[in-house]
Structure 1
């Protein structure tokens, strides 16, 4: 290690050790004998001159000045949205590095946004939705307020469709295993699975336990 790269505290520790013991300083501090000799010579010289031993490094620290690219909001907003979907595309579009764009995002100068397609409702669709919402309201004469119905007599139905397979699948095969062959007339003929779910509130007689009354049995059979 060069003497200029040695820490100031370690230099003083070496000199204090040398003042007490002139042997094995290189082994104790894991330094070269030449470095130890130069430290001892400098300390001895300052001591002979009647000065306090000061082994502070004279190495000057020059900070590295890097020119940061400033964000151009107008240039980014003028770029098409399809060319701003990833950091790489944005960097290519405004001709800066990916790290610069990443730094902008980290500093909050730019942000990510997940955009979802909204349903394009027509006027009849909006009227139907508004009518459905209004029909779910009822007037409470006692509290003199409008509130939503309890929906105790409403059955909520949800259905989901799932494809049994995909047009393209990735498989991990052994070295000698033959590639599987899958065929279908077209993508429209892939088998689909249909699941229905029903959700409703159970009804009970006011004085008969669940499942024991005549009305309860009819209700459970209907389910």
Structure 2
């Protein structure tokens, strides 16, 4: 240890081990040979002076007239050392607006103390660090409908409340996958030069949107194997001849390009890919009444669409498309960690084209374990309980269950129990409000949003021509007065 360098005091166990080592090196008279203190200091990362002091405190006696050595435990009791200069740091921090607590520099300026001192208090645990996530704003109708949705997923089993395992539900959702992340951490050796990443524009990174469908993993009795529940993932792309020549290809070469997701393309994806995949992969000995849960994004097709209903009812199946409530990404299992797991594996592979992004995403989809998906479903059940406790709100942190520890012990549950007090409070709250009125208001908002989506789709399909005669005809038909230049 260098001179002037401070080290944390040895623990009681380290002091005992040090004495045990010294007993094997001492002479018959209880003396330490020359150089032993230096050797033990290197072994226990302390100075030779510390070794000699602990040896003197042990009072070693090998004459059999008394105990071989005395205790060498630390003699510091409770709080020790210099008194803290600032004792009211937590109270003073709470008086600062949260918008000004983003970094140590601004907090230290508001408290009028050095930044280094503030960092010392942070390491001592006087100051805590929190993360603030921007969440969707919820109306009162949103909260009431979310609460009803969560309570409907509670079932009674042996006079106890449990959340539905959701074995009859397929969650579908879209996700953009980019060629790379704007910022990412890279670990390396000290002094290692990290390779530079560059692109022409950070606002125009290559990206592809995927539609994924998953269900709850479980044992398939008919096949005698695990149903991996990964129904499938599909990308919104098409292969067209390249219009221009580039350094990678000649003009006319088939090239993959992304497709704008409209209601027609989304409907075709559901009818041509999602529903047939459910029929082919669903366990044959289970119910054919399947719910396809989607959010209320504008391109999404309504459940009452004639083509969707016909596809869901074909071949003896009784599927239905249902909307999860608006502004509720925490009610879809894909947004609770499964997409993040896929993205983590996808960005590990270098992608320089749309084909590379598709290949990397498909490989990541196949590599993600079904255990991860099963844990995401348990997280969804815990989120439903938090929704009930918050009476339909989203002011909560996603709870942790230590699922990996439970899985290693073979105690990972299939269903999460619901606190009876939480269910009683939520049910009593629903009985006091007019649920039908809130649901009608929310349906009207969703309908207006979907109608706006249709209008936006039609506007995107318009083609603008720079035709002066057509412009003059429009001006004349509308009776507008054209301003002179």
Larger relative contact order (C-alpha < 8 A, sep ≥ 6)? Answer: 2
Which one has a bigger Cα radius of gyration?
Answer: 1
Query: How does the TM-score come out when normalised to structure 2?
Result: 0.23
Query: How does the TM-score come out when normalised to structure 1?
Result: 0.45
